[in-house]
A and B are shown apart, each in its own frame.
Chain A
């Protein structure tokens, strides 16, 4: 019996806690993705590069001496106009065709490739690592956890709750949901649909940028970093239900816990196939995901 408790305390619990940090990271990236998909019906293939862009902007701003805490606010603020311009200037141009899924997918895919190379041109191929803003660690029930990871869990949870509040409890969120449900009806009722679309895209990529700032001290910054979370984030969006915030949170936590625990028992190389296997099974049994689309539930 004491063996089981010890096993839980020293093997299983730390693994689950670490999985929770990865889960929060994945959800932060998936959140913007699911909002953009739920509202605009656009699969943003460049989402990972916006995540990287946030990290690189933070790197640039930090090099002129701005403190990390200010960057947490500043980077999303810089990302919003960028996202807005990308939506109005690029996505809207190919949005109004019957082939919308294909055209926007190709456009954002190409944009992602271009962004990755621009990062390489400006910052070079070598990695950078910002200093961890909170050094040291704390003992949680006898296991050592770096303070910054605990901070990440808390801040991540706060951001996720704030986003859910905005979408489900504010007038702005109501307009977003209305536009997602029926944009013609919403427009005729006076919702500025064009701005809601561009704004939602900007909001989504700003979230990705914020995730970039938060995760840079753990995962370091380099041009191809955008590929890190993107597959996992897509999986979370598909399993959780495209456009569903609650779905993204539940699927994100579930899948990363599966990954964390499974890698204790079998080679970690298999943890990705298992997660994608869950996604395939989900698509076969319940193609709409755990929860329905944004504005439809």
Chain B
């Protein structure tokens, strides 16, 4: 696939060279995992970008220049991502770059972009520091960060179960500890109390050894950020021990996904999480997007596909406002930009380059995620902690 795209890119640039200057395509480099563990995410990114590009090009492109996407496989590995980004900036001369999934890749590629004097945007990475203490004037984020997800979930919880008593269970590594800390902070701010926390090793087979602690704490709510097979075991074993009765289970966005929801079965019912997008959103823009996406790729878009789709329109709006692809002018145009996406209007905050958007709480009913509530963008975004610009 990559090879094919590059062939097409080569052909296109060959024809463009012979043509008029104004018809030169705008090149957008895409460094995304097309193989490995995150290949499924990279696939959605590609589909979202491809679909939006096709639509924009069919409607005349950006300032009557066509968009050309040039793909490179980053294998979800920051050091590979850096090489590929360098190549795209130096030899392909791309005007803009996107696609990074792994948060570490996004941070690393952001530094490459600073050196190259170009702009990048992530549509997937959700580690808070990217638009927080590790922010960069050359990096934008159009998807919701972890803090927005926690804030939305906590705001919903405060309404649904005011002053809830919460127990936390996370996998014992960086992601688990940071997600638990983030949600704890957000929930305590809205009046909830924490009863205790336990961190289980990754790939634990039996969670029943923690059930004594959970039972003794008598929580109304359990927040967990385990993922994959671990979620299957945790929730089904809790069901086995009758612990799910009268207990609301909340989690990170990766806790219950399309990959494991079938195996979790009934034990997933009632599970709620904070998300920036769901194919279930009942708006005309989203319905149109979901239909076009399904027609093209025979599957539903997820948040990665939707956020990537939206990015092309953000870039289009910014370039048209700046009337050039020049880095400084496009940066100015992106700052404070408001544009429409399948999940509604998004605005890029000038102070930290983080997109502000309506957040949703998705809850599982009969084995499917349904939108339970929405939280206004301003209520979920949190303070601007970027000090570099």
Contacts and interface: CB of A to CB of B under 8 A. Distances in A.
A19 B236 CA distance: 18
B320 to A, nearest CB: 43
B240 A218 contact: yes
Contact of A269 (B199, B208, B242): B199
A15 interface: yes
Contact of B209 (A128, A146, A219, A260): A260
B347 to A, nearest CB: 37
A220 B200 contact: no
Contact of B236 (A220, A228, A267): A220
Contacts of B259: 125-126
B376 interface: no
Interface string A224-253: 000111000000000000000000000000
A41 interface: no
A263 B203 CA distance: 16
A18 interface: yes
A15 B172 contact: no
Interface string A267-278: 111001000000
B201 interface: yes
Contact of B201 (A18, A21, A264, A268): A268
Interface size grouping (class) on chain B: 20 to 34
Nearest to B204: A268
A75 to B, nearest CB: 20
B135 to A, nearest CB: 33
A132 B236 CA distance: 10
A137 interface: yes
A18 B209 contact: yes
B236 A129 contact: yes
Contacts of A268: 198-201, 204, 209-210
A127 interface: yes
A174 B351 CA distance: 80
A18 B208 contact: yes
Contacts of B242: 137, 144, 146
B232 A129 contact: yes
A126 B208 contact: no
B262 A219 contact: no
B297 interface: no
A22 interface: yes
A263 B233 CA distance: 18
B263 A263 contact: no
A229 B263 contact: no
Nearest to A14: B212
Contacts of B229: 127, 220, 222
Nearest to A260: B209
B69 interface: no
A129 B263 contact: yes
Interface in B152-198: 172, 198
B264 interface: yes
Contacts of B232: 127, 129, 220
A11 interface: yes
A220 B263 contact: yes
Contacts of A50: none
Interface in B318-337: none
B237 interface: yes
Contacts of A149: 240
Interface in B225-251: 228-229, 232-233, 236-237, 240-242
Nearest to A131: B265
A10 B216 contact: yes
B54 interface: no
A148 interface: yes
Contact of B263 (A126, A132, A272): A126
Interface in B286-309: none
B197 to A, nearest CB: 11
A11 B240 contact: no
Nearest to A146: B240
B264 A263 contact: no
A267 B263 contact: no
A83 to B, nearest CB: 24
A269 B172 contact: yes
Nearest to A262: B209
B233 A220 contact: yes
A269 B173 CA distance: 11
Contacts of B210: 268
B384 interface: no
A146 B241 contact: yes
A127 B241 contact: no
A120 to B, nearest CB: 13
A219 B200 contact: no
A144 B200 contact: no
Interface string B263-286: 111000000000000000000000
Contacts of A227: 203
Interface centre among B172, B203, B263 (most CB of A within 10 A): B263
Contacts of A131: 265
A35 to B, nearest CB: 23
B206 A219 contact: yes
A222 B240 CA distance: 19
Contact of B233 (A10, A219, A272): A219
Closest 3 pairs (CB-CB, A-B): A127-B263, A146-B240, A129-B263
21 contacts: A10-B216, A21-B206, A21-B208, A126-B263, A127-B260, A127-B263, A128-B263, A129-B263, A129-B264, A132-B240, A137-B240, A137-B241, A137-B242, A218-B206, A218-B237, A218-B240, A220-B232, A228-B203, A264-B212, A267-B199, A268-B198
Interface of B: 172, 198-201, 203-206, 208-212, 216, 228-229, 232-233, 236-237, 240-242, 259-260, 262-265
Given A126-B262, A129-B264, A220-B236, 18 more contacts: A15-B209, A18-B208, A22-B206, A127-B228, A127-B260, A128-B263, A129-B232, A129-B263, A218-B237, A220-B232, A227-B203, A228-B205, A263-B209, A264-B212, A267-B199, A268-B198, A268-B199, A268-B201
